[in-house]
Amino acid sequence: MEFLELFENNVNNYTSKIKKSKYIENTNHNSIKKKGKKDICHIIISKNNLEYSLLKNNEKDNFILKKKLEIASEIDTFHSNDYYNFSFNKSLISNGLQSDNNFSSILYLNDIFKCNCIIHNKDTNKYYKTGLKNYENIICKYENNSWFLDDDPVEKIKTYSSDLNELNNIIHFDIKTNDIYKSFLKPFSNYKLDDLRKIAEELNIDLKKNNKKKIKKELYNEINLKKLLS
């Protein structure tokens, strides 16, 4: 009994004094960094493809490459001149899909998969919406020269940056705008201000902004956007 009591009353903690060695295996799994991808398209396609999740890690890069080339070869089945404007043409999309991080590829994949890629630049902690349509959001995070799927809820995003050109260092803008769709309205010069005001009223678009009457260009853009989202 005395022997047991000796250990029960022992308050020494010798194991805490043992110094860690570089030869001891690290059991802290949180220290293992997840490897990112070099191409944002990898994130968008993988999120929208069930087959991807069944692949071994060493098969995934090749799968994404083949999938991009497959999408490029099938542009005729999806692309329509009645849907996209002349600047978003088949040649642009096809060339974009054959390399990495092209803006045209992001926009096209948005439509293919009916998603809206939101870019989170971790370096600046800013968020950018790439698409114009109200599709399901996918947050692609850029950090340490790599792309990751960001699982954080979209609701946590307070503001979006409207200047996509701030992404010049991580995205190749082979097309300068995300306004790739055919306009509902005829060319701008075809309308007088009163014409646009009448159309805006029919679409329940407010004619004022900050208690000031909207100018012609503002109404023109809002009408086109309203029809695009309808």
Domains of the chain: 40-167 (3.90.70), 188-229 (no CATH)
As a whole number of angstroms, the distance between CA 193 and CA 215 comes to 8
What is the model's pTM? 0.81
Q: Please say whether the beta carbons of 171 and 40 come within 8 A.
A: yes
pLDDT tens per residue, the chain (230 residues)? 444 444 345 555 544 444 544 444 444 444 456 789 999 999 999 999 999 999 999 999 999 999 999 999 999 888 887 899 999 999 999 999 999 999 999 999 999 999 999 999 999 999 999 999 999 999 999 999 999 999 889 999 999 999 999 999 999 999 999 999 999 999 999 999 999 999 999 999 999 999 999 999 999 999 999 999 87
As a whole number of angstroms, the distance between CA 211 and CA 82 comes to 37
For 80-117, what is each residue's pLDDT tens digit? 878 999 999 999 999 999 999 999 999 999 999 999 99
Distances (CA, A) of 25 to 22, 29, 31, 37, 73: 8, 11, 12, 27, 48
List the alpha helices (DSSP H) in 9-137: 40-47, 57-73, 75-78, 90-97, 103-112
HSE at residue 147, side-chain half, CA atoms within 13 A, is 21
Structure tokens at 137: 């959001």
